[in-house]
Structure 1
Amino acid sequence: MRTRFAGALVDMDGTLYRGDDPIPGASTAIETLREAGVAVQFLTNNATNSPERYVEKLADMGIEATAADVVTSGLVTADYLSREHADDRAYVVGEDALFAALDDAGVTVTDTPTEAEVVVLSLDTALDYDLFTGVLRAIHPGTPIVATNPDRTKPGTDGLVPSTGLVVGGVEGMTGRAPDVIAGKPSVVAARFALDRLGVDAADCLLVGDRLDTDVEMGATVGTTTVLVRTGVTDDSTLEASQIEPDHVLDSIADIESVLHDAPPE
């Protein structure tokens, strides 16, 4: 079966798996997309793992991928900083995968708050008082704040767990400042990075994810066909109350074949 879609941006957490548990039918759904001629790019707002680690995780679930098939918010953030803050020293809250992405992109990182020229916020599961003290001292009037993503929570194996919103909220509570830039979903920065890597126009692309405020909002902003799956954080009451409307709502990505027959807009 062929389809009009040339590409798909597919979220991972809550769409292909919850924690370490794969969503039933997820691997078959990816095969269905590829057999229909759809190029697949895996897209996640989680900056705590490298693309290589995601390749291993997907392989354990029967999904083939290469590192070039995976876009993390860490990669998008590193690319953004390398372009917009190429000569600036970054004070970073995050884990090893983010630091590695920044290093690969040539971003200069400092662990001295007073040297900071840009502050980067991401999830650090080893949060402590000293870390927040460092961030507070790194943020001067006019210091840009860049967050890898805005997610308050993410799906875990046994339920929701905190995400980068824990850090962003803490910093905003201290300083009264929200991030100046969100690099990951739902930003156009992330969308353009992923679409450019995929080599597909937004109008010919699916965006599949479990979040209205990141996945679906981003897809709608840039003009993809949006698909919300119910296997992550969005329940019926949230969907009904939201002003963000996906083009399709599926119980699971396992039902993706039904979307491939979608007619082009008039």
Structure 2
Amino acid sequence: MTDYEAAILDVDGTIVRGDDLLPGATDGVRALEAAGCSRLLFSNNPTRGSDHYGAKLAPHGIDVDPNTVLTSATVSAEYLAATHPDERVFVVGGERLEAILEDAAVELTSDPDAADVVLGSFDKNFSFGTLWEALRALEGDVPFYGTDPDATIPIDEGEIPGSGAILAAMEAVAGREPDAILGKPSSVAAAAAMDRLGVDPTTTLVVGDRLDTDIALGNRAGMETALVLTGITDRATLAASDIEPDHVLESLAAVETLL
């Protein structure tokens, strides 16, 4: 048994990289299960819903209940449905994000001049035209949100630009920052995770590879944090950062040393 009642695990860079399982990831997950620690997967990927990771991890022997998965897309959908009902949301993002929003009964509009709310996110088809439409949608004091702050996304070949890069462009033309980022490390994300787990933050361990999202989420919410070095952060980056994890692990496999 362990003093931790629950663990929030990042996915990309912690359990997988691209389509490949990271070495030791299965051992880490099984160690948490053996210790009786509840598990929540939390990805800042805004293109995936809760069902995706079950299908992705099942071939590797990791069983995932969709009810124990959050993504920045599902958190954003739940938040907008609750706080902006019957308002039209203009989305800078992909079709998968739009589908997740629609499944949560969020009303979407493709007309920037009809936008009541603007949501910025990852869009592989982002263009000058998209940015121009975003500028029109952001006129006035329309609420402006982002799904996640990740400037880059790790893939098998390295990295590609992420939501944070697109949000930076939207901020530049609009002359203002988003009113809130809804994925990690926001208070919205922390509340969504705690609601799913039903435990006290002080008995929760957050494990992830990003200082500014995973570790910042845990630090802000009063959780214990563990940085893994299998993703975006290396020791040089850690040494230069003001964000400090409670623990540093070579991989998720080493989580057993904390239990």
In the TM superposition, residue 137 of structure 1 has moved relative to its aligned partner by 1.1
For 1:199 and 1:105, how far apart are their aligned partners in 2? 22
Equivalent position of 2:95 in the other structure? 96
Q: Is residue 9 of structure 2 the alignment partner of residue 6 of structure 1?
A: no
- Aligned runs of 1:24-43 on 2, under 5 Å? 24-43=23-42
> Aligned AA for 2:168?
G
For 1:221 and 1:51, how far apart are their aligned partners in 2? 24
TM-score, normalised to structure 1, is: 0.94
- Aligned runs of 1:39-78 on 2, under 5 Å? 39-78=38-77
In the TM superposition, residue 159 of structure 1 has moved relative to its aligned partner by 1.1
For 1:103 and 1:197, how far apart are their aligned partners in 2? 21
CA contact (8 A) 2:5 2:203 kept: yes
For 1:83 and 1:53, how far apart are their aligned partners in 2? 23
In the TM superposition, residue 186 of structure 1 has moved relative to its aligned partner by 0.7
Match of 1:106, SS state, is coil
CA contact (8 A) 2:147 2:181 kept: yes
Equivalent position of 1:263 in the other structure? none
CA RMSD in angstroms, aligned pairs only: 1.1
TM-score, normalised to structure 2, is: 0.97
For 1:9 and 1:173, how far apart are their aligned partners in 2? 33
CA contact (8 A) 2:49 2:70 kept: no
In the TM superposition, residue 21 of structure 1 has moved relative to its aligned partner by 1.6
Equivalent position of 2:243 in the other structure? 244
- Aligned runs of 1:75-154 on 2, under 5 Å? 75-154=74-153
Structure 1: gaps of 5 or more residues: 261-266
For 1:151 and 1:83, how far apart are their aligned partners in 2? 24
For 1:53 and 1:105, how far apart are their aligned partners in 2? 16
Equivalent position of 2:233 in the other structure? 234
Equivalent position of 1:259 in the other structure? 258
The runs of at least 4 consecutive aligned structure 1 residues that moved more than 6 Å come to: none
Match of 1:51, SS state, is coil
Paired residues, what number? 259
For 1:52 and 1:126, how far apart are their aligned partners in 2? 24
In the TM superposition, residue 105 of structure 1 has moved relative to its aligned partner by 1.9
For 1:21 and 1:176, how far apart are their aligned partners in 2? 40
For 1:150 and 1:174, how far apart are their aligned partners in 2? 17
Equivalent position of 1:264 in the other structure? none
For 2:56 and 2:124, how far apart are their aligned partners in 1? 20
> Aligned AA for 1:251?
E
Match of 1:29, SS state, is helix
Equivalent position of 1:164 in the other structure? 163
Match of 2:89, SS state, is strand
Equivalent position of 2:183 in the other structure? 184
For 1:61 and 1:163, how far apart are their aligned partners in 2? 27
For 1:140 and 1:208, how far apart are their aligned partners in 2? 39
For 2:226 and 2:95, how far apart are their aligned partners in 1? 32
For 2:112 and 2:21, how far apart are their aligned partners in 1? 40
CA contact (8 A) 2:139 2:174 kept: no
Equivalent position of 1:203 in the other structure? 202
Q: Percent identity?
A: 45
In the TM superposition, residue 101 of structure 1 has moved relative to its aligned partner by 2.0
Deviation per CA, 1:85-130: give whole Å up to 9, x if none: 1131100112233212211222111111111011001101122222
